[in-house]
Structure 1
Amino acid sequence: MEKLSIGKAELTWLDGGVTHLDGGAMFGVVPRALWSKKYPVNDKNQIELRTDPILVELEGKRMLIDSGIGNGKMSEKQRRNFGVFEESKVDEGLQAFNLTRADIDYVLMTHLHFDHACGLTRWEGEKLVPAFPEAVIYTSRTEWEEMRNPNMRSINTYWEDNWKPVEHQVHTFEDSLEVVPGLRMIHTSGHSDGHAVLVYEEGEHVWIHMADLMPTHAHQNVLWALAYDDYPVTSVHEKKKWMEFGYDKKAWYTFYHDAVYRALKYDHEGNIIDQVEQKKHHYT
């Protein structure tokens, strides 16, 4: 498991499983000839997208950024269609620190699409129960409303199995929320209407989790939006805003989906000046 210390914050990437999605959909109108130079692609035109929660230890609290792909949450057809060749090993990751799921204080949900939210619930016999029974689950109010009342487009990604067992744990916010001192969740919209990013500031120590505004390092170009984005123009503007903010502060950018890097640090011109690579690449 890769780790990164940024000021007081200790970040550890857990193994949350994997998906493989169409590269064209992940890079929108960008031609394959361009994006394939920046990110590995297989002979089915699929790219590997990890679904690895980040354990954040800060101010005496243990938090997860998103929840992984979960275990046993999909049919065989869904696993095949979404390229889920590995499911979550979150328990094993926590055990390495003598922790259990009950030790997680907060789960910070950037949004509630299935590849981020399947890990919120787990099977206990024939019943789905909360995967992190003692945690407060934070998400934006807009995202929570759509999760429970999806439209004809979003119903394919907002699944009842991922919210109904945990609705008593969910706390929402409007524009922003300071989870602990220095760590904010900020509603951006874009990828989904309720999408949020995380920003941590502690003097010169800054990190930003862009979630699916920049799901991989290959999406650094502010104009490279996903075909999956509900509001791509908003995505572009929000990405530009938070990339300029981070470049100015030489911030770390952390990833949930990237199969190459866990985190990258950029200078004020957007050049990479430090990196945390995955020790184990999972390319297919």
Structure 2
Amino acid sequence: MQAYSLFEGSFSVDASKKFIPFDPALHNATDRPGSMFIQVHPFLIESPNGPILCDTGLGLKDENGTLLLYQNLKKMGYEPKDVKYVLMSHLHKDHAGGMVNFEDGVGRIAFPEAEYIVQRGEWEDAYSGINPSYRTEIFDVVQRSGNLNLVEGAGSVNHEIAFKRSGGHTRNHQVFHIETGDNHYFFGGDVLPKPEEIIHNHIAKYDDNGRLSKQLRQEYWKQGAPENWIYLFYHAKSFAIGQPKLRSDGTYEMIEVK
């Protein structure tokens, strides 16, 4: 069983919260002052029970109107109907855009056979108007689909998938442990979005509770390194999938999983 990045692209984001494609070979960062530069990596995890998705990207489409997420799935040999679980860390638009496929203004659930796992508190916050990064037109479609499973706190979806409300990035952000085959995958969403943040741990202004996120990152590394977790980094620039390696001095470093 393996995990794959379904890379959706690199983007700059300014105060308008718009995600503008950014290709370093074509664009200059100095032309976009005040912008953050991020990458978007939804993940596919293979499982005997069927493919698992971790977050769904921005929902971007190609020139033919096909979701990039669909294209990337097909490269791995899967169709949208094959996906059995969609695990949502939170519902900001760069994570939730691909939950639904809009065609000619009509929204349909993007993965019709999948169970969508969302924290109840996050779902309620998404409709509260507290953050412009929530797109309620997406959630209206999901709610009507019958595919939504609102969970609370910590628990298990099945014998492979466990969830836990973490808070930090949003009030009801959640993280996932997926244990399938011989691998233990950890998806930390936007609490642990990049491998560099394990070392250069800081308080981020874009977090609801930056101090909590900082604390959680250290806890996830302290526990996961000796247990050989495989980490999935949603906004990674260097590498999206990493695993700890024991150094000769008894400490751990993060290395890329290819």
- What fraction of aligned residue pairs are identical, expressed as a percent? 24
Find the counterpart in structure 2 of residue 196 from structure 1.
174
CA, structure 1 residues 257+231, in 2 after alignment: closer, same or farther (shift >3 Å)?
A: same
Contact 2:194 2:240 in 1 (8 A): no
User: What per-residue deviation string (whole Å, max 9, x for no partner) do you get for residues 212-247 of structure 1?
Assistant: 112112211374132110111221222222121112
Contact 1:215 1:255 in 2 (8 A): yes
1:162 to 135, 138, 147: 138
Shift of 1:254: 1.3
Shift of 1:126: 2.2
Q: Does 1:276 align with 2:257?
A: yes
1:50 to 36, 39, 54: 39
| Structure 2 stretches lacking a partner, 5+ long | 18-27
Instruction: Map 1:239-278 onto structure 2 (within 5 A).
Output: 239-266=217-244, 267=246, 269-272=251-254, 274-276=255-257
User: What per-residue deviation string (whole Å, max 9, x for no partner) do you get for residues 138-168 of structure 1?
Assistant: 01111111112232xx1x1111122111113
Shift of 1:193: 0.8
TM-score, normalised on structure 1? 0.74
* In structure 2, C-alpha distance between the alignment counterparts of 1:97 and 1:264, rounded to whole Å: 20
TM-score, normalised on structure 2? 0.81
Contact 1:69 1:88 in 2 (8 A): no
Count of matched residue pairs: 234
CA, structure 1 residues 221+69, in 2 after alignment: closer, same or farther (shift >3 Å)?
A: same
Which SS does the other structure have where 1:61 is aligned?
Answer: coil
Q: Does 1:91 align with 2:70?
A: yes
Find the counterpart in structure 1 of residue 22 from structure 2.
none
Q: Residue type of the partner of 2:2? A: E
User: What per-residue deviation string (whole Å, max 9, x for no partner) do you get for residues 47-67 of structure 1?
Assistant: 532222111111322111000
1:125 to 101, 104, 112: 104
* In structure 2, C-alpha distance between the alignment counterparts of 1:199 and 1:157, rounded to whole Å: 25
Contact 2:155 2:164 in 1 (8 A): yes
CA, structure 1 residues 162+221, in 2 after alignment: closer, same or farther (shift >3 Å)?
A: farther
Pairwise CA RMSD: 2.6
CA, structure 1 residues 248+97, in 2 after alignment: closer, same or farther (shift >3 Å)?
A: closer
* In structure 1, C-alpha distance between the alignment counterparts of 2:51 and 2:181, rounded to whole Å: 21
* In structure 2, C-alpha distance between the alignment counterparts of 1:243 and 1:102, rounded to whole Å: 34
CA, structure 1 residues 145+166, in 2 after alignment: closer, same or farther (shift >3 Å)?
A: same
Shift of 1:253: 1.3
Instruction: Map 1:1-284 onto structure 2 (within 5 A).
Output: 9-21=1-13, 42-43=29-30, 44=33, 46-71=35-60, 89-151=68-130, 154=131, 156-167=132-143, 168-201=146-179, 205-221=183-199, 223-266=201-244, 267=246, 269-272=251-254, 274-276=255-257
* In structure 2, C-alpha distance between the alignment counterparts of 1:49 and 1:180, rounded to whole Å: 32
* In structure 2, C-alpha distance between the alignment counterparts of 1:210 and 1:71, rounded to whole Å: 23
Contact 1:247 1:269 in 2 (8 A): no
* In structure 2, C-alpha distance between the alignment counterparts of 1:249 and 1:270, rounded to whole Å: 11
* In structure 2, C-alpha distance between the alignment counterparts of 1:55 and 1:194, rounded to whole Å: 23
Q: If each structure's helix is expressed as a fraction of its own residues, which one has the higher value?
A: 1
CA, structure 1 residues 58+216, in 2 after alignment: closer, same or farther (shift >3 Å)?
A: same
CA, structure 1 residues 102+206, in 2 after alignment: closer, same or farther (shift >3 Å)?
A: closer
* In structure 2, C-alpha distance between the alignment counterparts of 1:174 and 1:196, rounded to whole Å: 10
* In structure 2, C-alpha distance between the alignment counterparts of 1:179 and 1:222, rounded to whole Å: 33
